[in-house]
Amino acid sequence: MAGADVTTGSTTATAHDRAVAAARERLAALPPDAPVRLHKKTSNLFRFRDGAGGLEVDGLDRVLHVDAEARTADVGGMTTYEDLVAATLPHGLMPLVVPQLRTITLGGAVVGLGIESSSFRDGLPHESVISADVLTGAGEIVHATRDNEAADLLDGLANSYGTLGYAVALRIELAPVKPFVALRHLRFDDAVSLAEATARISADRAYEGEPVDFVDGTVFSAGEQYLTLGRMVDEAPYLSDYTGQGIYYRSVQQRAYDFLAISDYLWRWDTDWFWCSRALGVQNPLVRRVWPSRYRRSDVYRRLVALDRRYGFSERLQTRATGAAGVEPIIQDVEVPVTRLAEFLDFFHREIGITPVWVCPLRLRPDPAHPGHTWPLYPLEPDTTYVNVGFWSDALLQPGMARDHHNRLIELKLMELDGHKSLYSTASYTREEFDALYGGEHYRRLKARYDPAGRLPDLYTKCVTNS
């Protein structure tokens, strides 16, 4: 990493440096008026495009070095969490936040806001970034740290979605882990009780006198909701396996206690893409037996969904079977203050009706060196517990409904409840709404400094108008 004291194997470091130089040359070689978009082998975005203007970044997908003593890792920006975790676990370490899906990249999680069950304690992935080397829209490699002259770029990467530049390398903090996770599934019969328990456990980091290392939850209906508490342990009386015939989210309903190996815990949602594999038939016992286990993973399912979106197979089937005017994909992760969670879930059950939904508390990670610090393009209040609510399915459209009818209802409710959403999928905000929610003025200052010619797409046009 430029400007950093990085100890790596010489072969890996040299290959990485060559890859960075090649990416910079490719960006410079593109015509000035050509659209510039990152070309990646995998994607977890749900804004499907034809791939025009793709910038190749081969070779930036390596773990460069793990420093077990300092608890840091130097990582190429296109490295998947699957590879990153495989490199850190042998040292008894993990990234502070490991997003749920194997092929999410570190750079993608930083600029696009990954989240997981350690977020109630450690915030979001960008909060554990010590430094980043960024290929900016101006074609420069900028080394950004929390305290150097490019600190504003490090702050602005979060929620920028590659519109300021691409993180080609990052140094991140790591956290110690134990080999197993003891799980406890707590049932709640109403959203108010769920929200109260979420707030209390997130603040205390404990439950009934035991420490809590991970917290997330599953809402099956308005009357059946669970928080899953995870505690890292050195020994386990047994280990469950949900990569075969067993399905993890169903176990939440079926057992109060469980044990998983740490690696299986980190990827517990990937095997069935939370619960979304059921739409592809993978949860049917007969189909599951013949579906090769190596293809039971989120990137495979996403490619199948992309194919379906392109040709409209499932939409034609659903509209013919129901007489609906169309089908609206509702693929969203939203954040609301925990004090408004019950209101949001009541609205969601009434107006949208998708189940299950995922809930995951998060709090900004305290930074003693920068008290009160927040992230300008995704502003969250310090010392406040938020809850991410994730829902991924379709809704039928009745005649006269706009194509974004349900998604727009959700946006309006979020603004009413002091919430907002991640931008990896469809968005319908007006420019004024978007600027108010996502630091519009601050973003424009960053854009003028690091991409003055506008080589990279604008955040609003990329995430809302899809252009």
Q: What is the pLDDT of residues 400-453, one digit of tens each?
A: 999 999 999 999 999 999 999 999 988 999 999 999 999 999 999 999 999 999
301: left (phi over 0), alpha (psi -120 to 50) or beta: alpha
Structural domain span for residue 255:
180-268
304 part of a folded domain: no
Q: Which secondary-structure segment (H or E) carries 206?
A: strand 206-207
121 shares its domain with 252: no
- Kindly state whether residues 170 and 48 are assigned to the same domain: yes
Q: Do 195 and 317 belong together in one domain?
A: no
Chain segment 182-211, per-residue pLDDT in tens:
999 999 999 999 999 999 999 999 999 999
3-state secondary structure of 208: coil
Residue 78 in this model has a pLDDT that exceeds 50 = yes
Q: Is 255 a domain residue?
A: yes
**CA dist., res. 174 & res. 73, Å (int):** 7
Instruction: Let me know if residue 400 belongs to a domain.
Output: yes
Q: Is 35 found in the same domain as 123?
A: yes
Residues 172 and 187 in one domain: no
Is residue 294 assigned to a domain? Answer: no
Residues 30, 165: one domain?
Answer: yes
Q: Is the dihedral of CA 352, 160, 435, 401 positive or negative?
A: negative
Q: Is 253 found in the same domain as 345?
A: no
Mean pLDDT throughout 281-288? 94
Confirm whether 137 is domain-assigned.
Answer: yes
Rounded CA separation 126/104 (Å)? 14
Query: Do 148 and 206 belong together in one domain?
Result: no
Same domain, 106 and 208: no
Angle (CA) 180-240-104 rounded to 5° is 70
Whats the size of the chain, residue-wise?
Answer: 467
Residue 445 counted as domain residue: no
Domain count along the chain:
3
> Which of 268, 296, 329 is the last residue in one of the domains?
268
pLDDT digits (tens, 9 = 90+) for 31-45: 877 777 776 666 665
Q: Looking at the predicted structure, is the pLDDT value of residue 381 above 60? A: yes
* pLDDT computed for residue 39 by the predictor: 67
- Is 348 among the domain residues? yes
Both 147 and 199 in one domain: the answer is: no
Residue 118: predicted pLDDT = 98
Domain of 324: which CATH number?
A: 3.30.70
Point out the domain boundary residue: 176, 199, 224: 176
Both 130 and 147 in one domain: the answer is yes
Q: Is 53 helix (H, G, I), strand (E, B) or coil?
A: coil
Euclidean distance between CA atoms 351 and 410, whole angstroms:
9
In the chain, the percentage of residues whose pLDDT exceeds 70 is 94
List, for residues 203-241, the tens digit of each pLDDT value: 999 999 999 999 999 999 999 999 999 999 999 999 999
CATH number at residue 80: 3.30.465.10
In 3-state terms, what secondary structure has residue 402?
coil
Verify that 117 and 210 share a domain, yes or no. no
Would you say residue 457 lies in a domain? no
From the list 121, 154, 110, the residue with the least C-alpha distance to 366 is 121
Query: What was the pLDDT predicted at 467?
Result: 58
